Amino acid sequence: MSTERYELNKNLAQMLKGGVIMDVSTPEQARIAEEAGAAAVMALERIPADIRAAGGVSRMSDPKMIKGIQAAVSIPVMAKVRIGHFVEAQILEALEIDYIDESEVLSPADDKFHVDKTKFKIPFVCGAKNLGEALRRIEEGASMIRTKGEPGTGDVIQAVRHIRAMLSEIRRIQSLKEDELYYAAKEMQVPFDLLKYVHENGKLPVVNFAAGGVATPADAALMMQLGAEGVFVGSGIFKSGNPAKRAQAIVKAVTNYNDPKILAEISADLGEAMIGINESEIQLLMAERGI
Amino acid sequence: MKIGVLALQGGFIEHIHILQSLQVDTFEIRKKADLSQEMDGLIIPGGESTVIGKLLKDLDMYDDLKEKIEQGLPVFGTCAGMILLAKQIEGKSNACFGAIDITVKRNAYGRQLGSFFTEAEFKGIGIIPMTFIRAPYIESTGPNVEILSVVDEHIVAAREKNVLVTSYHPELTSDNRVHRYFIQSVCHCGLDPQSQEQILI
């Protein structure tokens, strides 16, 4: 990937900021998401809550289903590949998807290597639960980062933990003396140049969204107030009682995350939220995949 | 002088940074109450036009803004902002503000693989850097519209009276000349002599 292409890919993520990216599994859901104000949709056959319930190996979605969603909406369409599965990524590139999510939600295809994302023209977003993971993914060519959270649970605790970890590590790196950065880079197992960027700018060199467990407008606003630049909502919308209404409310919550009066208004009467599952009750921690 | 930046979704902070480089005061517009502030100009940023258009209506800001633009508030729209300001959108019956007499084609260059960077002429300024992200272009213009940039035979910047639009994102480069043009020639405001012209080389 040329430097120019990488810049354009980072630029697309910049245009998604302040927005909500919604998981959808049918063209019909994609249209509901677009009408509700989604900034992009993530096409996947089974949303994380169902993957969790069904068990078994989960893989890239059927290209036919992805094409159906591409045809249904005018907003960007993203899709997931298994960690390290560069052939699934090649297939999504051939489909001209707008963004590839190399995602821990699917079963990892490689327990050591992530996809070498610098070999692709299509942009990648990757999950991270701390600054080290984020910078390693960026070095591999990711042009957008999201927290991992714990997908398909409706429990926001892990997303909170991850965004807090990332941002507090960024503050720590900012406060280091320049000659201490070499050791910090070694300790964190990250490239020095990227760490230096964080030291000088106090942020990641790419856009940083929150993901994993967001189920209510309040959850979305919480992630924004904690410092996320936008939000992915997976199971939280289409596992709820009134998806369209909840989706619209979450979109508004991300725009006016700092206005409790508006949040109070839009949080009312949304129907049942996804039931969810507490962190302590789950068997499979997806966030532990791909470090 | 104060410029309001519509901050419902998208790349608004990039516009604010450029305006700050020009020592221009700015504020974010996120809800109806923010519209009560005095402003000398408005910027509608890039993002998803469907999202911004919907939020304008849901947050009850559309009528107030439309009235201000019709009364002559200088406004600058980039990418999604251009779509929202256009009178017609190809393949769609309803436009948003309809403030400039142009017909716009959305996602005119295709998906993200069609996004590109180039350098081309902006009338009166010279060669400027242009970043197109899933960009629209202008298919046709009305009689009173001035064409400001053309790339590969497609119109990508135009102006009619108080409304300036670009398909590309000047805010994603460090070149602030289009924003200077907006402040000086559309808003008719003076810039601090201390503010430097930044040209991307």
Query: pLDDT, tens digit, for every residue of A187-216?
Result: 999 999 999 999 999 999 999 999 999 999
Cα dihedral A121/A78/B171/B169 (nearest 10): 70
A98 min Cα distance to partner chain B (Å): 5
- Helices then strands, counting H and E runs in chain A, come out as 13, 8
Find how far residue A149's CA is from the centre of its chain: 9
pLDDT tens track for B53-85: 999 999 999 999 999 999 999 999 999 999 999
Closest partner residue to A19 (CB to CB) among B30, B51, B133 is: B51
Pairwise CA distance, residues A60 & A102, whole Å: 10
Residue B119 appears among annotated catalytic residues: no
| Statement: residue B134 has pLDDT above 70 | yes
Q: How far apart are CA B53 and CA A172, in angstroms?
A: 40
Q: HSE on the CB side for A100, CA within 13 Å? A: 32
ipTM of the complex: 0.94
Binning pLDDT at 50, 70 and 90, where does residue B200 land? low
- The string of pLDDT tens digits covering residues A252-268 is 999 999 999 999 999 99
Between A30-39, A67-76, A282-291, the lowest mean confidence (pLDDT) is in A282-291
Q: Specify which residues B42 forms β-bridges with.
A: B4, B75
Q: How many A/B residue pairs have CB atoms within 8 Å?
A: 107
Q: What is the pLDDT of residue B123?
A: 97
pTM, to two decimals: 0.95
A positions 252-291 inside 8 Å of B (CB): 252, 254-256, 259, 262
Residue with tokens 């309040």: A218
Is residue A270 within 8 A of residue A245, CB to CB? The reply is yes
Q: Which two tokens stand for residue A166?
A: 């990332």
> What residues of chain A, 6 to 25, have a C-beta less than 8 Å from chain B?
7-9, 11-12, 14-19
B92 forms beta bridges with B89
Q: Do B10 and A99 touch (CB under 8 A)?
A: no
In chain A, the residue whose alpha carbon lies closest to the alpha carbon of B78 is A15
- Residues A64-112 pLDDT 10s: 999 999 999 999 999 999 999 999 999 999 999 999 999 999 999 999 9
CA-based nearest distance B174→chain A, Å: 13
Among A5, A7, A15, the residue to mutate for chain B (most B Cβ within 10 A): A15
Phi and psi torsions of B139, nearest 5°: -85, -40
Q: Is A80 among the residues known to form the active site?
A: yes
What per-residue confidence (pLDDT) applies to A283? 75
Of all residues in chain B, the one with the smallest CA distance to A120 is B113
Closest CA to B80 of A15, A96, A104, A130: A15
Burial of A15 (0-12, 13-18, 19+ CB in 10 A): buried
CB contact under 8 A, A255 and B55: yes
For A148-157, write each residue's pLDDT tens digit.
988 888 889 9
Which value, to the nearest 10 degrees, does the dihedral of the CA atoms of residues A138, A139, A141, A147 take?
-20
| Burial label, A26 (beta-carbon count in 10 A; 0-12, 13-18, 19+) | middle
Q: Binning pLDDT at 50, 70 and 90, where does residue A167 land?
A: very high
| Catalytic, out of B79, B96, B160, B179 | B79
Q: Considering only CA atoms, which of B47, B15, B48, B1 is closest in space to residue B173?
A: B15
The verdict on a CB contact (< 8 Å) between B172 and A14 is: yes
Q: Per-residue confidence at B116, pLDDT binned at 50, 70, 90?
A: very high
Distance CA B83, CA B97 (A): 9
Cβ pair A114, A102 in contact under 8 A: yes
Distance, CA of B137 to CA of B196 (rounded, Å): 30
How far apart are the C-alpha atoms of B173 and A224, rounded to whole Å? 26
